[in-house]
Chains A and B, each alone.
Chain A
C-alpha cells in the first residue's frame, strides 16, 4: 500500500533561513519617546530653565497628545491584539468625557470630583461596551467594524440632540479641571504643565500595565483570537469572552481618556467626537504598528507633532490646518503601502523562561469515548450515519476510509465543531453533545485540522503557548492584574510544557525557531507545529486529522511512532490517516468508514484484510490517495 520506500538519505527540507530581525532599534524608540516627553515641558517658558525654546502651545498640544495616546493604547488591545476593528471608538471617549463633564461642571451644578467621577465614567463606558459586545456577538470582522462606526455616530448624534442634558451643539461649558476631591473647593490640577504631567504619567502607567497583560494567558488568547478564531477555540479559548473582555478594556481606557480630555479642555462640544477623531486614533495605530504599545504612542506623537511642526516652520497661519487631515491620509497610505507593519511593530515573542523544565504533575489518564447512534449532516447530506463506537482509554485508533466517508466529520463532531444531528456523545461517561469546543478542550479533547490552522502572524512559540495556558491557567479576568494574579508561577509551567511539546519533535524546533513565524516553516513542520499545539493542551483524547500529510515515508513513520509513544503514555488517540501501511504498524485498532458507517472495526491486520474494506478503498483511483493527502 505504501509508496516506494525512500531511504534515510531523503533530505529534511525546512524552507527557512535565519530568524527574522526585529524592527529596528525598538529600545531606541522607547528611550527617544520618553526623553522627548520629559524634556518638552522643561524647554518652555514655565520650565526649570526659564527660557522659551519651545512655544507654550506645545505643552497644550502635549496634553491633547496624552489623551490621544491613551485612546491609542486602548485600541491596541481591542484592534491590535484581539483583532476587533472598531471604527467608532470615539463613542466611548465621548461617554467618558460627557460623564465627567456632567458630574463636574458649574452648569450642571455638580462637583463630584475626579476620584469619584472617573470610576463612574469608566464604569459607564464599560457597561455600554458590554451591551454592544453582547448584542453584536454574532457579527464578525468588518461588519462589526461598521456596526461600531454606527455606534460611535449614534452616541455623537444623541449627545447633540439631548440638548437639555448636554447643552447640545452649543457645548457643555465650565467643566472643573482635574479635582483631587469632591466639592467645589477641592484642590485641582490647573496648570498646563500639571495636566501634561498627569496625562503622560497615565500613558506611562497604562502602557506598562498593558505590556504586562499582553504577556499573560489573556494577552496570548487575544492574539490567538485575532489570528484564527476557530483555531483559538480548538486550543480551548472561550473566544466570545476573550473578545468581550478586550472590548471592555478598550472602553475603560477610552472612558479614562475622555475624563482627562474633559478635565483639560474644560468644555465639550459634540463635534469633537466625530468619526474623524476615531480615524485619527486608528491612523496613529497604523503608522506606529497595529499591535504595538510603543508604536501606538509613537504614532500619536508623530501625527500630532508633524502638523504643528509644519505650522511652526511655515510661520503660523490657520490655513495650514487644512492640510492636517490630508497629511494624515497620505501618511496612512504611505505606511500601509510601504511599511506594512508600521514604524515600530513588535517583534514576534519567544519563550521567556527556558531554564526550568517542570514535569507534568501526574501521568495522563486517557479519556474514554462512547458514541451512540451518532449522526451528522451538512444540509441534506448525511456525513455520519448512526455511528456506535466505544474507544477505551489509552487506545490508539486509526480511522480509514475513502474520501467523503465521514472521517473528518467524525473528528469535527467529537471535538465540538459540528453539531450532531442525532445520537449521544459521551466522554468518560458524561454526555457532552452540547459542550462548545473550548469546553471539550478543557475536558481533555484536543485536535488538529485537516487543513493547517495555525496562528500565522505570531511566533511558533506563541502558537503553542495558548494551548498550554488552557490546562492550568485558562485566560481570565485575573490576568488583568498581571503577575499579581499568580500568573508568574502558572506561566513558568505553561512555558515549560510548550518547550517540552516542541521537544517531542527533536531537532525540528530549535530555540532559534521559537521567535519565527509559522509561515517560514516547511509544510511538514507546520503539521508538526499544529500537532505540538494540540499536545500542549495536555489532551486525554487526541484527535489527529491526517497529521502526516506532506511528509515523506521516513518522516511519516517517525511521526506515527511518536504518536504511538503518546498513546503508550496513556493518551487516547484517534488518527485519520491515508497511508494504511504506516498506520497499521502503530495502531491498536482500525476503524474503516464508508458513507458514514463503520464497515470494519478491529485489529489492523483483520480490518485491512476485510473484503468490504478492500473494495471500498479500491474504488478509489490509484494516486488519488496521495493527492488527498495534500
Chain B
C-alpha cells in the first residue's frame, strides 16, 4: 500500500510540475494585463509540436543523429522561443488593441484565438496524435527504497524546478522583474512613476510563452504524443492550478499545480475500501477542486487582495 502511495506521489509530482509551468504563465499574464489568457494551452501544444519537429530534424535515434540530451535541449529552446514569440504577437496584435474595453472582451478574444490556433495546428499537422520520438524519451529508472523513480519523471521535475527558479530569480533579481511587480500591483501607478509598462507587459508575455513552449516539449515527453486539440485541456489545467493557488501569487501557482495533480491522481488511484473511482472521472475531480476552492476562497489558496509574490515568512 505504501509503495502504491509513493508511486502515486511521484506521478503527481511529475504531473504537477507540468501544471505549474502552465499555471505560472497564467499568473504572469494576469499580473501584467489582468486577463485570462485562455489560448495559453494551445501555445503549449504549438511548442511541443515544434519541439517534436526539431527532434526529427536532428535525427534523434537515427544512426547519425544528435545525442538525445542535446537534441532535447535544442528542441526545448526552439519551442520556448517560438512560444515566447507567438505569445508576444498575441499581446501586440490582439490584447493591446482591446485594452480599454470591458473585461469580457479579452476573454472572448482569447476564445477566438484558441479556436484559430487549434485549427491551424490541425491543418498544419494531422488529426491523429503526433508521437513523441521514443529515442528522445529518457528510459529507465532509479530504485530508491523500493520506489521507482523514472528517469523521465526526474527530467521533467528537474526542468520545471530549473525554469521556475529562473523566473523567480528574474523577478526578484532584475530591474525588469521589480517593474513587473510594480505593474502587478497597479499598472496605472507604475506608469505614472515611469515604469515602461508596455515593455513590462511584453516581458510578461515573452516569459509566459517561453515557459509554455518548454512545457509543451515536456508534456509531449510525459504523454508520449500530442494532439491538436489537447491544448484546451492543458490550458484548463493550467488556469485551474493558477486559480486554486491564487492568480496573484507565483508560489500559489506552484502550490495549485501540485494540489491539482495530487487531487487528480489520488482521486482515481486510491481505493477506499471497496470504493474506487473510474479513471474517467479524473477531469471531473479537477474541475470539482477548482469550483470548491473558488467558492470557499475566491482569491485562491494563497492569493490575497494584494500581490504577494514573495514568500511570506
Q: Taking beta carbons and an 8 Å cutoff, which residues of A are in contact with B?
A: 79, 83, 85, 135-136, 138-143, 145-147, 149-151, 153-154, 157-158, 160-161, 275, 279, 282-283, 286, 290, 322-323, 325-326, 328-333, 336-337, 340, 457
B50 at the interface (CB under 8 A from A): no
- B122 and A138 contact, CB distance less than 8 A: no
- Provide the bound-state CA to CA distance between A233 and B197, in Å: 34
* Known contacts A142-B36, A157-B281: A329-B116 contact under CB 8 Å: yes
Chain A residues within 8 Å of B102, by CB: 457
Chain B residues within 8 Å of A157, by CB: 280-281, 283-284, 287
Mark the stretch among B70-78, B170-178, B216-224, B290-298 that contacts chain A. B290-298
Using C-beta atoms within 8 Å of the partner chain, give the interface range for chain B: 35 or more
Q: Which 10 A-B pairs have the closest CB atoms?
A: A329-B115, A332-B112, A329-B116, A326-B119, A150-B287, A333-B112, A157-B284, A329-B112, A154-B287, A325-B119
- A139 and B114 contact, CB distance less than 8 A: no
Chain B residues within 8 Å of A325, by CB: 115, 118-119
Chain B residues within 8 Å of A286, by CB: 108, 112
Mark the stretch among B52-60, B61-69, B93-101, B155-163 that contacts chain A. B93-101
- A329 and B119 contact, CB distance less than 8 A: yes
- A333 and B94 contact, CB distance less than 8 A: yes
- Provide the bound-state CA to CA distance between A282 and B295, in Å: 24
Chain A residues within 8 Å of B97, by CB: 337
Q: Taking beta carbons and an 8 Å cutoff, which residues of B are in contact with A?
A: 35-36, 94, 97-98, 101-105, 107-109, 111-120, 122-123, 232, 236, 239-240, 243, 278, 280-281, 283-284, 287-288, 290-291, 294-295, 298
- B112 and A160 contact, CB distance less than 8 A: no
Excluding A146-B36, A147-B291, A333-B109, 14 further A-B contacts by CB distance (< 8 Å) are A79-B104, A138-B295, A142-B36, A142-B107, A143-B243, A146-B239, A146-B290, A151-B291, A154-B284, A282-B111, A326-B119, A329-B112, A330-B116, A336-B112
Min CB distance, A327 to chain B, in Å? 9
Find the residue from B35, B97, B108, B288 having the highest chain A CB count within 10 A.
B108
Chain A residues within 8 Å of B104, by CB: 79, 83, 85, 142, 290
Min CB distance, B151 to chain A, in Å? 33
- Provide the bound-state CA to CA distance between A81 and B295, in Å: 24
21 pairs, A vs B, C-beta closer than 8 Å: A138-B298, A139-B295, A142-B103, A142-B104, A143-B294, A147-B294, A149-B236, A150-B288, A151-B287, A154-B284, A154-B288, A157-B281, A158-B284, A279-B115, A322-B123, A326-B116, A329-B116, A330-B112, A330-B116, A331-B112, A332-B112
Residue of A nearest to B127 (CB): A322
Chain A residues within 8 Å of B36, by CB: 142, 145-146
Chain B residues within 8 Å of A141, by CB: 103
* Known contacts A149-B236, A153-B287: A329-B123 contact under CB 8 Å: no
Report which of A79, A326, A330 forms a contact with B123, defined as CB distance below 8 A.
A326
Report which of A145, A161, A275, A340 forms a contact with B107, defined as CB distance below 8 A.
A145
- Provide the bound-state CA to CA distance between A157 and B264, in Å: 14
- Provide the bound-state CA to CA distance between A512 and B291, in Å: 47
Residue of B nearest to A148 (CB): B291
- Provide the bound-state CA to CA distance between A286 and B107, in Å: 11
Chain A residues within 8 Å of B94, by CB: 333, 336-337
- Provide the bound-state CA to CA distance between A283 and B107, in Å: 12
- Provide the bound-state CA to CA distance between A81 and B77, in Å: 46
Min CB distance, A128 to chain B, in Å? 13
- B295 and A328 contact, CB distance less than 8 A: no
Min CB distance, B299 to chain A, in Å? 9
- Provide the bound-state CA to CA distance between A79 and B118, in Å: 25
Min CB distance, B90 to chain A, in Å? 10
Min CB distance, A474 to chain B, in Å? 27
- B290 and A147 contact, CB distance less than 8 A: yes
- Provide the bound-state CA to CA distance between A290 and B36, in Å: 19
- Provide the bound-state CA to CA distance between A336 and B94, in Å: 9
- A146 and B98 contact, CB distance less than 8 A: no
- A85 and B119 contact, CB distance less than 8 A: no
Report which of B114, B117, B280, B298 forms a contact with A160, defined as CB distance below 8 A.
B280
Residue of A nearest to B232 (CB): A275
Chain A residues within 8 Å of B243, by CB: 143, 146
